[in-house]
Amino acid sequence: MELKNKRWTDEEFFKVREEVLSQWPTGKEVDLQEAVDYLKKVPEEKNFAIKLKKAKEEKRTLAQPRAGVALIDDHIELLNYLDKEGGADFLPSTIDSYTRQNRYEECEVGIDESIKAGRSMLNGFPAVNHGIKGCRKVYESVNLPVQARHGTPDSRLLAEIIHAGGWTSNEGGGISYNVPYAKAVPIEKSIRDWQYCDRLVGFYEEQGITLNREPFGPLTGTLVPPSMSNAVGIIEALLAAEQGVKNITVGYGQCGNLVQDVAAVRALEEQTEEYLAEYGYKDMVITTVFHQWMGGFPEDEARAFGVISLGSTAAALSGATKVIVKTPHEAVGIPTKEANAAGIRATKMILNMLEGQRLPDSKALQAEIEIIKAETKCILDKVFELGNGDLAVGTVKAFEQGVLDIPFAPSKYNAGKILPARDNEGCVRYLMTGNIPLSKDLLDFNRARLEERAKFEGREVGFQMTVDDIFAVGKGKLIGRPEGM
């Protein structure tokens, strides 16, 4: 089957589906008609898509943690703790790393060992192994909408099981859950596999059940220039819409300059809507998610609270619909449930205090929005051009040619030619532009902003800036200035 950005026919879908469901015994439990009946009974307040739509209408920013452990009962206890003691608005189920690699046998071992050890030996919830029954038990034992959060290049079986299990949102996408999460999965393959996940959601939509899909905005979480992650988000939204997805949350990972962060969210929301309209997708519900700082954290918990809080502030002021919450344990290891709840409480304190407040419109904000949109458009134009109008084909070629290029990604299908660095105000800019097709004006703009910093710091623009910037937040600063500045 040739890769194309085109809605799969039922024939195509159901043919592949047979194979997917046979990948692990729990696959056989999925009966779409029964699942539709089950999902029809999900009350509005436990439907991810509907709750997001409402939040957008009410102009509120809602909070969601990350969390997942190996065993069902422990996982339920964890989620309810985050609801009750943290005040979470949405619940996650972070999936373990073996499931992400489709290594379900190893999950089985992890589950057994966890039972024996009396504590989780997996870094997440192995949803495929627990099957529909396990997922439904989770869904039925909590009071909030549940989403799968992972990093799985091939998430087809997982998607089947979680949605039939009552989880009304799935994070990921053919680019965002491949390039940062895999070494050797061809882009072509992951796009196709995510078309499947999207088509599944489209199928449910056609049955009158709205489910949410969320491209993973932050990618490698490390100094990704906003226009690059926005371009990826928009592509994934378009690909999803083509398969019939209606409720999409596009995402962005905090960079740290407040104006750039707000501009990025606004540009992302506006351009996503523009592109979806341009390509004829109707009745779309587009919301945004802001990820608190996704790079290296400071080890000290008080400083970590500072980082978490600044992210919450930027999220609120940007008007994002949702914010993904970090914890004071971030730099060290998977958080205890207490640390996780503390992160949510700090976040919600700020969201509550800033409810209804926005960064006022200003020349500076408009200028940054314009820059991000212009850069994004340069990239997207070229992607469409490379695909002769087909976005899926264009995306594959764009990665081959480094037109799409994610900094610090492990994937061998990623060119790895661009390098980011902060300018003198802390905005993330392109230092090495590799093959990204920015106009001369935009290239000059990026360069000039970095030269300004270089001058201020009395050194050359160069990779050392990038390295210093990567360590900066962990060391308590935003910009990696030379020692003693």
Q: 357, exposed or middle or buried, with CB in 10 Å at 0-12, 13-18, 19+?
A: exposed
Residue 273 to residues 247, 268, 286, 314, Cα–Cα distance (Å): 12, 8, 7, 21
Which of 27, 126, 215, 221 contacts ligand B12 by CB under 6 A? 221
* Contact status: 268 vs ligand B12 (CB under 6 A): no
Q: What string marks each residue from 56 to 95 as x (binds ligand B12 by CB under 6 A) or -?
A: ----------x---------------------------x-
CB of 448 to other proteins, least distance (A): 26
| Residue among 17, 149, 160, 171 flagged as catalytic | 171
Q: Which residues contact 270 (CB under 8 A, 6 or more apart)?
A: 369, 373
Quickly count: other Cβ atoms within 10 Å of residue 423's Cβ: 23
Nearer of residues 296 and 462 to ligand B12, judged by Cβ:
296
CB of 148 to ligand B12, least distance (A): 11
Instruction: Give the closest residue to 324 by CA, choosing from 95, 63, 93, 148.
Output: 63
Instruction: Give the closest residue to 6 by CA, choosing from 271, 367, 391.
Output: 391
Residue 184 DSSP label: S
* Contact status: 123 vs other proteins (CB under 8 A): yes
Q: What is the DSSP string of 76-128?
A: HHHHHHIIIII--SSEEEEPPHHHHTT-HHHHHHHHHHHHHHTS--SSS--HH
Q: What string marks each residue from 323 to 352 as x (binds ligand B12 by CB under 6 A) or -?
A: ------xxx-xx------------------
Q: What angle do CA 157, 38, 24 make, to 5 degrees?
A: 20
Q: What string marks each residue from 391 to 430 as x (binds other proteins by CB under 8 A) or -?
A: -----------------xxx--------------------
**Separation between Cα atoms, residue 336 and residue 477, nearest integer Å:** 26
Residue 183 to residues 41, 225, 314, Cα–Cα distance (Å): 40, 22, 32
Q: Which residues contact 208 (CB under 8 A, 6 or more apart)?
A: 40
When CB distances are held under 5 to 8 angstroms depending on the partner's kind, the choice from ligand B12, other proteins, its own copies, none that residue 210 binds is: none
Identify whether 100 is a catalytic site residue.
Answer: yes
Identify whether 199 is a catalytic site residue.
Answer: no
Residues 335-364 that bind other proteins (CB under 8 A): 335-336, 339
Which of 348, 373, 397, 449 contacts its own copies by CB under 8 A? 348
* Contact status: 169 vs its own copies (CB under 8 A): no
CB of 208 to ligand B12, least distance (A): 32
When CB distances are held under 5 to 8 angstroms depending on the partner's kind, the choice from other proteins, ligand B12, its own copies, none that residue 66 binds is: ligand B12
Q: Which residues contact 303 (CB under 8 A, 6 or more apart)?
A: 476
Q: Report the DSSP beta bridge partners of residue 428.
A: 422
Instruction: Give the closest residue to 281 by CA, choosing from 213, 180, 217, 230.
Output: 213
* Contact status: 222 vs ligand B12 (CB under 6 A): yes
Nearer of residues 15 and 183 to other proteins, judged by Cβ:
183
* Contact status: 77 vs other proteins (CB under 8 A): no
CB of 96 to its own copies, least distance (A): 27
Q: What string marks each residue from 137 to 176 as x (binds other proteins by CB under 8 A) or -?
A: --------------x-------------------------
Choose the stretch contacting its own copies; rule: CB under 8 A; options: 4-12, 225-233, 300-308, 461-469: 300-308
What stretches of 27-77 adopt beta strand conformation (E)? 62-64
Which of 333, 356, 458, 484 contacts other proteins by CB under 8 A? 333
CB of 263 to its own copies, least distance (A): 11
**Separation between Cα atoms, residue 380 and residue 360, nearest integer Å:** 29
| Residue among 66, 100, 199, 266 flagged as catalytic | 100
Which of 12, 188, 270, 299 contacts other proteins by CB under 8 A? 299
Cβ burial 292-331 (10 Å sphere, 16+ → b, else e): bbbbbbbeebebbbebbbbbbbbbbbbbbbbbbbbbbbbb
* Contact status: 454 vs other proteins (CB under 8 A): no
Provide the sign of the torsion angle of the four alpha carbons 66, 69, 75, 81, taken in this order. negative
CA 464 to centroid of chain Cα atoms? 28
Q: What string marks each residue from 366 to 385 as x (binds ligand B12 by CB under 6 A) or -?
A: --------------------
When CB distances are held under 5 to 8 angstroms depending on the partner's kind, the choice from its own copies, ligand B12, other proteins, none that residue 182 binds is: other proteins
Which of 114, 272, 313, 446 contacts its own copies by CB under 8 A? 313
CB of 193 to ligand B12, least distance (A): 17
Choose the stretch contacting its own copies; rule: CB under 8 A; options: 47-55, 203-211, 275-283, 476-484: 476-484
CB of 203 to ligand B12, least distance (A): 27
* Contact status: 336 vs its own copies (CB under 8 A): no
Q: What is the DSSP string of 408-452?
A: T---TTS---EEEEE-TTS-EEEEEETT----HHHHHHHHHHHHH
- Whether residue 324 contacts residue 64, with contact meaning beta carbons closer than 8 Å, is answered with yes
331: left (phi over 0), alpha (psi -120 to 50) or beta: alpha
Residues marked active site are found at 100, 171
The contact set with other proteins (CB under 8 A) reads 97-98, 100-101, 103, 120-123, 151, 180-184, 220, 222, 295-296, 299, 329, 331-336, 339, 408-410, 463, 467, 470, 474
